[in-house]
Structure 1
Amino acid sequence: MARIPYADPAQPDLQAAAEAIRASRRKIGHLHRMLLHAPPIAQGWIAMFDAVRWNSTLPGRLREMVICRIAAINGATYEWDAHAPIALAEGMTQAQLDALPAWEGSALFDATDRAALAYCDAMTNDVHVPDEVAAAVRDLFPPRQLVELTVTIAGYNCVSRVLEALEIKGTDPLPAA
């Protein structure tokens, strides 16, 4: 069970934020019901992650690959379970998804994947990115996509940390919507 109860989206003071979530996601899942405890944060969260996921020029396969890698590093099962099917739909293979936790030893990832994964690992594990890792992604991605990649990695590390700190589980019972 989560560390605090999930918010009830039917509460009058949460309805505007709940509608913003529904407009974007169609339903209000576990993470978003938790975020509803802070309506301005819930609405800002939706705006930011809509930009990251739907208004980015970064290829969806690459975006979902780094999101799943973050989930693997951080032990964020909820995040993995949510994004693994999206990664497959965006073009990752099941073999690549299975190899992602130990990608360095796999031949299933091309040079672009490997540079993005090394960047993801550095940002996630160490925060400070070594110059050679930064140079590798800078040489492969135009500035806009490098910013998009960086914000995707930073943002989904935030997602992992919220999920894990509050112990949000996809199997938790939710209040009626």
Structure 2
Amino acid sequence: MARVPYVDASDVPDEYEDLLESSLQGKPLHVYQSIGNNPEVLAGLRSFLGSLWTDSGLSDRERELVILASAREAGNRYEWHQHVNIARGVGIDDDEIAAVGTGDLDPLSEDETTLIEYAHAVIRGEVDAIAHDEIAGVYDDETIVGIAAAAQGYDALAGVIDAFDLELEAGTEFHGWDPR
């Protein structure tokens, strides 16, 4: 059982009701319903996460690889599960998803491997000159900022999910770190 209640639309002011739903799935998600206990924080978080999606400089595929890498590094099953579905929707196949989940990055391109390794280094606080030079060989400074912000943003969200001990939505089962 989650440590905070899952609010529904009747529990929040009208202007926050839509924020409880996934814009992709069109249904309420536990992550938003839990944070909805503080609607203003939910609004700010959704704005921030939306900016990471649209302003990071990453393609949909690259963004989802960063988010999956962040969820895996954090060991966050809820976030991983949600983004496996999204990753599939942007054309990342199960072999590539499993590569991120298991750490065997062979199915990914060299640039994608660099991206994932950089995201891991950001989350671990281990970005050194070598890691920076490697990512700078692939991306410009603006996108590197987007990558680091996305990795840390989703790592922070994973921490909130863990603090609240969120469960997967009813009717779903964890895909596993290797969803094949």
Band of TM-score, shorter chain: 0.7 to 0.9
Give the deviation of 1:15 after TM superposition. Answer: 2.7
Give the deviation of 1:23 after TM superposition. Answer: 8.8
C-alpha distance after superposition, 1:54-96 (max 9, x if no partner)? 3443011111112112222222111111111211222222111
Partner of 2:148: 150
Partner of 2:158: 160
TM-score after normalising by structure 1 = 0.85
Does structure 2 retain, via aligned residues, the 8 Å contact 1:31–1:168?
A: yes
Hey, what's the Cα distance between the residues in 2 that align with 1:23 and 1:166?
A: 19
Does structure 1 retain, via aligned residues, the 8 Å contact 2:62–2:112?
A: yes
Question: Equivalent pairs: percent with the same residue?
Answer: 21
Partner of 1:48: 48
Partner of 1:2: 2
Does structure 2 retain, via aligned residues, the 8 Å contact 1:96–1:109?
A: yes
Partner of 1:121: 120
**How large is the RMSD of aligned CA atoms in angstroms?**
2.1
Give the deviation of 1:21 after TM superposition. Answer: 4.5
Give the deviation of 1:102 after TM superposition. Answer: 3.4
Partner of 1:74: 74
Hey, what's the Cα distance between the residues in 2 that align with 1:23 and 1:106?
A: 29
Letter of the 1:82 partner, please give it.
Answer: Q
Equivalent pairs, count: 170
Hey, what's the Cα distance between the residues in 1 that align with 2:38 and 2:90?
A: 32
Mark the runs of 5 or more structure 1 residues left unpaired by the alignment.
Answer: none
Does structure 1 retain, via aligned residues, the 8 Å contact 2:79–2:158?
A: yes
- Matched residue of 2:41: which SS? helix
Give the deviation of 1:9 after TM superposition. Answer: 2.5
Q: Compare the two structures and name the one with the higher helix fraction.
A: 1
Hey, what's the Cα distance between the residues in 1 that align with 2:110 and 2:56?
A: 21
Gap change, CA 1:171 and 1:19, over 3 Å in 2: closer
The equivalences for 1:1-177 within 5 A come to 1-11=1-11, 13-22=12-21, 24=23, 26-103=26-103, 105-124=104-123, 126-171=124-169
Gap change, CA 1:122 and 1:172, over 3 Å in 2: same
Does structure 2 retain, via aligned residues, the 8 Å contact 1:66–1:117?
A: yes
Hey, what's the Cα distance between the residues in 1 that align with 2:41 and 2:126?
A: 27
- Matched residue of 1:109: which SS? coil
Give the deviation of 1:164 after TM superposition. Answer: 0.9
Hey, what's the Cα distance between the residues in 1 that align with 2:37 and 2:43?
A: 11
- Matched residue of 1:10: which SS? helix
Letter of the 2:132 partner, please give it.
Answer: A
TM-score after normalising by structure 2 = 0.84
Hey, what's the Cα distance between the residues in 2 that align with 1:28 and 1:53?
A: 19
Give the deviation of 1:22 after TM superposition. Answer: 4.6
